[in-house]
Every structure is written in structure tokens, then in C-alpha cells.
Structure 1
Amino acid sequence: MKKRIISASIIAAALGLSVPAMALDVTPYGAIRVGTWWTSSTYYNGQNALHDADFTLDLQGDSLVGMRVKEGDFSGIAEMGAYNPKNRAGGVELRMLFGEWDFGGGKVRVGYAPSPYVFRSEQTYDSDGGFNGYGSLWDGRYAQIKASLNNGLYLTLKKQSTSNTGGTSNFTTNTGPAWQNTPFNLTATQYAATNTNYDTYLPQTTVGYEGKAGILKYGGGMAFNFYKVTQTTSDVVTSKDEIYSYLGFAHGTVDLAPVELKFNLYTGQNVGNLMANSGAATGSYYFNRHNAYTYGGWAQVGYTLNNKIKMFTGASYESNDTKESKVDDRMAAFANLQYAVSKNFKIVPEFTYLNDLRSRTGAKEPQIYAAGVKWEMTF
């Protein structure tokens, strides 16, 4: 035990001496968030409805600690997050880990970070959900290489979409590709007479632009993904599919202080196959050899009352259609007040409404009323 303590002390001392020599600028940061929510939910089985009411108090999954490091033209971020309350067994989450080189005319990023088309509202329900799956393009974080120029143009090469549903193929079900093994070998290496094989050729590619003109900050771009799926049953190829996915997106913020307007719009094909959005509608996936077409977005109004109080309200909508079934659509709305108790302590009372409207079969889907408070401390 003493040897371990001595060894740890030596390592800590060495690091302490080396940091000044390397001229590193290290800045730690963090945010601890707890949500208290009262929810009223309605679920349907045909015309039969089940009503459920719950109170919950839990740590939000976007609670985090991290640090920024800078040395000359190079910088980096390492960020860890709390367990997801819906998946405690998953443990602590790696949120971001990347390095960035500022080469003068722009930057090159290598590492793990959110997708470049992410643009979220101020909705806080469901761990700062921000209309996730209801008009927001949030789809998690991925290994990526991103090159951005100072004029606003950028190119991102990113790991292709993964699915949390696992195992089944796209042309017969509504699930995304189930990459099972290592990042460099996406299907099983052992021969199987009955098998679903995914063949990938390119990274998910996004080309975009971020700019500013007076009171308007704006951005937009295109994302693309492509892969093949082959199903074999008893050594006989029973089906082959080529799945092309694309996404066009635009977003912006208009500063009319004390009023702020924000919007997010998008459209695409097989969007569920492009991104691993756990909240995505089933109708957004390639299905029964039919492409799924999606459009959606959200709009939000904010008002700054004073240096203590900000208020926000917004609404969203998404529509998905495979042309062989009914439209799978959904909508959401929220209103909240953000009160800064002190510099590092904020509380956010909010009311949220989520409605999955109708599925692609025409069946009624769940709706949720939620009222609660987010409690947030930052450093």
C-alpha cells in the first residue's frame, strides 16, 4: 500500500513539474443538473387508452465534468458525463474527446464530438432534450475529422450511423444498421449460412457553412450516407438493398435584444438511417424497399427580462412518409423561465407537451404533459 502511495505521489509531482514546462493552459469546468418532473402520459392500444401519472427526481444525463487544454496552436477538450438515467448500467459516458489545430486560415479537429448539424432549443425536459426527435437533429456524438475555414465553410467526415436496436435489417423492419463488432469491422467475421451483412464504403459526410450578417447568425449544409445490406438464408441470397440517405438543414438566430428568435429547418431521405437518433420516428427509416422522406423543424422566441430572468417558448413538428403507408408525424411545445439564483446556480421551471400523433399505420401514439424544474449548478 505504501509503495502505491509513494508511486502516485511521484507521478503527481512529475505532472506538476511538467505542466509549466509544456506551457499548458488548463481550464476545468462542469455542470451538475437534477430534474424534478410531474408527468401525465397517455398510451393507446387501438382506441383503448392507458393514463399514467408520475413524479420523478433524478440526475440528468447531461451532467458533466471536463477540461479545456491549450498549448500554442493546439487545443483539446476532454469531457465525461453522468450515467444516462434510462441506462444506468451503461455507467459514466464519454461526451467529448478531441484535439484541434489552428493553422491560421482555419482549424482541423480530430476526435469525438457532436455532429455538425446539431442545433437545439432551450427545452429542458428529458435531460435538456431540446426537441430531440421532435424537430431537433441531435443524434449523439461520433468519432470524426472536421476541417473548418475562417470564412465559415467546413467539411466533416464522421463514423456512420449506429443503431441501438441491434440485429435486424433495414429492408424488412424500421431499424437502422446494427454495427456489432469493432469500429473497423462492422459485421461478423465468422461465416454464417443465415446472415445479414452490411457493407460500408464512405464515412458519413457533411458539408456546411456558418456565418453572420448583422443581427442574424445562420448556418446550413448537406449530410450524406450510403451502405449496402445483403441478407442470406441457408446460403441463398434472399435480398439486397442499397440505402442512400441525405439531409439538408438550415438554422439561425436573430438578435432583437431583448428579444431573440431561433429556428431550425431540415428535410431529407432515410434520415433514420443517416443518424442514430434514439428518439427518431419509425417512419424515418428505409422500409420495405421504400425510401422515407422527412421534413421538420422548430421555432423559438426568447425574452431577456433582466440579468436574472430569461423566458423562452417554442414549438416543433416533424413529418415522415414512406409513400406506401400513412404519414408518421409528431409535434412538441414548451415554455420555461430561466432564473439565475446566483452566478453558478440556475433553476428552470418549465411546461412541456409531446405528442407522437399517428404512426405510419395510422394508429394513435403517446402524448405526454410534463411540468417540472431543472436545478443546475455550474463551475
Structure 2
Amino acid sequence: MKRGIVGVVACAASVALSVPALAVDFSGYGAVRVGTYWTQNQYYSATAGASYGARRSDSDFSLDLMGDSLVGVRVKEGDFSAVAEMGAFNPKAASSGPEVRLLFGEWDFGKGKIRVGKAPSPYVYRTQMTWDSDGGMNAYGSLWDGRYAQIKLTMNNGFYFTLMQPRAGAGSVYTSNAAGAGSSLAAFSETANTYATTYTNYNTIMPKIVTGYEGKLSNWTYGGGVSYNLYNLERVTAANATPIKTDIHSYLVFFHGKVDVAPVEFSYNLFTGRNLGDLMSSAASAYVATSATFSTTGTASYYDVTNDANAYTYGGWGQIGYTVNPKLKIYAGASYVSDDNRKTRADERFAAFVNAHYQVSKNFKIVPEIGYMNDMTNTLGNKEPRTLEAGAKWEMSF
């Protein structure tokens, strides 16, 4: 038994000693985050036959591991580097368990880099808001839409060009058959394989394209760009009827940046686009628990099949930060976003927060916070949920 242990140790030592010879550098990192939040939700009745606007409320306290708790490793060998990162869970689908947050390799060819793998979209730019697993105003003026497979070329002069996994339909995944058990939220499928009296078929045509520029001028760091996606929607509304085909074009134009005039900094994010739900996840987050009869949130940014109308979106956020001392920073921000298909009422959302980032020690940080999210009104003109949150994030990182 002892000989076996000695052998294992000797083997491990041999591998460790060989790493420098191979000139491969490994480094690990991670963060464990727990959120303690009290939330007060208000939602409004929109059930058929009831008077619209009747208010209901729900109050809860939570102490839970935040979904962006993670552990990762970086590897570098010459002009090649790679990142692999595992997260605790997807905060919008905790039951699915741990998830691969990042997994990509990069080749530095001198004038730029080529990245292949899974990473956030280039237009992602979020606030310092911590609630909802460091949500950063997701769906309330930020442009977070998850992490997707991509091929990205970044030049040393700041320009980049990205081909990404395409998106189509009214969900993050889609199907070719909307009959029976099939729907736009069912399992991924690119080819129709079931004939039905009525069905909807999504035909992907090309990758999503994102191109832009990131630069710096004195104390101003800034960026901006455009994104485009195209897919074909084919619908059959009756037995043996001629399919109705529609090309769905979606685009995004975005600008973001930060002006740092220590101890004060100002950050911003502005965007506009068409059919953003078909380009990225721009619908309201799912953390406000409401019955489908109470809300139609989450549909207004997609191409409207019923009204045969494109959805137009504009929004953004602004944030001010103040460094009190090396251990304490204070942030405050507000945001607004509106989705409008120009045939129904606009779906609007607003959010605001203030928090303090206190670095207790090198590896330990506490962030007390107060925030407010107001989903305002939906496309029917009905009031939607309002959420007040107060609590703190507890983070230990390495």
C-alpha cells in the first residue's frame, strides 16, 4: 500500500517537473458568492373577467449560493492560450446543475487574436448591480444574453469580427415543429421531421454576426458596434395550405463606455435595434414569479407573428461610481428599455440601484445593496410586476 502511494507521488512529481520544460503555464482562479436578499414583489391581476390592476404582493427572504460562483483555469503556451471555467448553475435554470461558463482557445498571430469556443457576446456590458446573481440590470438596459459558441477575430487596433451561434424564434432554443408537443421553447432542431395540420418551422440561414471596436482615449474607454441575424419563418395554418414564409431580420446597434476621473467614474450603455428577441435574450428576466395570466412580459422584443410586425427596441443605463478609499467603492445606477411593435402599446421596463463594495480583506468582499425593478406596462397596457430588493452579496475569491 505504501509502495503504491509512493509511486503515485513520484508520478505526480515527474509531471510537475516536466511542465516547465514544456513551457506551459497554468493558473487557477475562482469565486464563491452567497446572496442574502429580502424581496418585495407586487404584481397586478389581468385575469380574464377580473378588473385589471388589482394588486397582489409577495415577500421573501433568500440565502443561497449565487449562480455565478465559479472556478476556472487559464493555460498559456507560446502564442496559444485557453480558458476553461465552470459555474455553480444557470440562475434561470438552477435544476440543470453546474454549467460550463467559458471554454475557448486563442491564437495570437501577432497582429491580432483568433478565439474559438464558448464565451459571452461582444456587446455584453453590465452595471455593478449584484442582485440576481450579479445580474447587472439584465433585461433592464444591459445587453447580457448568455454565452454561446463563437469564432472571433480581434485585431490589435481594437476592431473585431465575430461569427456566433444563431438564434431564432421566441426562445433561447427552438424547434421546427410547433404542433402537438412542439413549440418555440422545445428542444433544438433545425429540420422539420413531423408533418402536422398546422406547424411552424424555423430555418436558420447564417451565423449571427457581431462586429465592432473597443478603444481608449485618455481616461475614456469606449466601444460600439453592430450585430445582425437572419432566419426564415415558415407557417402552415391549415391542412394542405400553402406555407407562409417570412424572412426575419434582426439587428442591434450599441455603444458603451466609462469615463474615469478618479475618485469619480461614469459608465454608460446605449442601444437600439429591431427584433432583439430573435437576436439575443432581451426579454424580462424570469425571477419575478407570476402566472401567465398576470403578465405577457417577455414577448414584445420578438417579431410579432400575430400582427405581422417587427419589434423596435431602445434603451440603456447610466452608472456613477465613487472611490471612498482603497477598500470602499459606492455605485448607483438607473436604466430604461422599451420594446414596441408599433401596433400595440410599448412594453417598458425601468430599474435603479445603489450599493457599496467593501473589500474586507484581499479575498473577502461584502456588497450591501438596495434595488428596484419596475416592469411598468405590457403591450396590452396592463401594469406588470414591481420588485424591491435589499440585501448583500458575500464573496470570497482567489
Q: Does 1:132 align with 2:149?
A: no
Q: Which residue of 1 aligns with 2:119?
A: 113
Residues 41 and 368 in structure 1, CA contact (< 8 A), matched pair in contact too? yes
Which amino acid in the other structure matches residue 180 of structure 1? A
Q: CA deviation at 1:89?
A: 2.0
Cα distance in 2 between the residues matched to 1:268 and 1:186: 25
Q: Partner of 2:234 in structure 1?
A: 230
CA contact (8 A) 1:180 1:186 kept: no
Q: Give the total of aligned pairs.
A: 370
Q: CA deviation at 1:179?
A: 7.3
- Matches of 2:8 and 2:146 in 1, distance apart? 35
* Alignment partner, residue 242 of structure 1: 247
Matches within 5 A, 1:1-379: 15-16=15-16, 18-45=18-45, 46-161=52-167, 163-164=171-172, 178=185, 180-181=187-188, 186-192=190-196, 194-232=198-236, 233-277=238-282, 279=284, 281-287=298-304, 288=306, 289-379=308-398
Distance 1:140 1:51 in 2: 30
Given that 2:175 and 2:201 are in contact with CA atoms closer than 8 Å, whether structure 1 keeps it comes out as no
| Secondary structure in structure 2 of the residue aligned to 1:284 | coil
1:192 CA drift (Å): 4.8
TM-score w.r.t. structure 2 length? Answer: 0.87
Structure-2 change in CA distance of 1:260 and 1:47 (3 Å): same
Aligned-partner SS, 2:325: coil
Q: Percent identity?
A: 54
Deviations 1:279-301 (A, max 9, x none): 36421111031000000000000
Q: CA shift at 1:11, angstroms?
A: 8.1
Q: CA 1:7/1:234 → structure 2, altered by over 3 Å: closer, same or farther?
A: farther
Distance 2:311 2:111 in 1: 39
Distance 2:142 2:312 in 1: 16
Q: Distance in 1 between matches of 2:135 and 2:174?
A: 24
Over 3 Å counting, the alpha-carbon distance change for 1:14 and 1:192 in structure 2 is farther
Partner Cα separation in structure 1 for residue 6 and residue 146 of structure 2: 41
Provide the rounded CA distance (Å) in 2 between the counterparts of 1:129 and 1:244: 28
| Structure 1 residue 19 displacement after superposition | 2.8
Change (3 A) 1:355 1:153: same
Report how far residue 22 of structure 1 moved. 2.3
Q: Residues 6 and 200 (structure 1 numbering): CA distance in 2 closer, same or farther, change over 3 Å?
A: farther
Q: CA RMSD in A?
A: 2.6
Other structure's SS at 1:305 match: strand
Q: 2:378 is matched by which residue type in structure 1?
A: S
1:186 deviates by: 1.7
Summarize deviations over 1:348-368 as a string: whole Å, max 9, x none. Answer: 000000000000110000000
Q: Is the 8 A contact 2:124 2:143 kept in 1?
A: yes
Question: Residues 30 and 70 of structure 2 are in contact (CA less than 8 Å); yes or no, is this contact kept in structure 1?
Answer: yes
Structure 1 partner of 2:288: none
**1:242 CA drift (Å):** 1.2
User: Could you tell me whether the CA contact under 8 Å between 2:174 and 2:202 is conserved in 1?
Assistant: no
* Aligned partners of 1:140 and 1:277 also within 8 Å: no
Partner amino acid, structure 2, of 1:253: K
Aligned-partner SS, 1:236: coil
Letter of the structure 2 residue corresponding to residue 285 of structure 1? Y
Q: Which moved more, 1:192-201 or 1:315-324?
A: 192-201
- What amino acid is aligned across from residue 115 of structure 1 in structure 2? S
Distance in 2 (alpha carbons) for counterparts of 1:111 and 1:179: 24
Unpaired segments ≥5 residues, structure 2: 46-51, 286-297
| CA separation of 1:367 and 1:361: change in aligned 2, threshold 3 A | same
- Which whole-Å CA distance do the structure 2 matches of 1:8 and 1:129 have between them? 44
Query: Are 1:180 and 1:188, in contact at CA under 8 Å, matched by a contact in 2?
Result: no
Which deviates more, 253-262 or 274-283? 274-283
**What does the per-residue CA deviation read over 1:79-102, in whole Å, with 9 as the maximum and x for residues that have no partner?**
000023543320111100000011
For residue 260 of structure 1, report the CA deviation from its aligned partner.
0.5
Q: TM-score, normalised by structure 1?
A: 0.91
Aligned to 1:173: none
Structure 2: distance between partners of 1:209 and 1:85: 30
What is the SS of the residue equivalent to 2:342?
coil
SS at match of 2:300: helix
SS in structure 2 opposite 1:130? coil
Q: Give the Cα–Cα distance (whole angstroms) in 2 for the partners of residues 9 and 110 of structure 1.
A: 36
Post-superposition Cα deviations, 1:242-268, rounded to whole Å, max 9, x if no partner, equal: 110000000010011000000000000
The AA in structure 2 aligned to 1:322 is N
Per mean C-alpha deviation after superposition, the further-off stretch among 267-276 and 81-90 is 81-90
8 A Cα contact 1:82 1:93, kept in partner = yes
Q: Give 1:164 shift.
A: 4.3
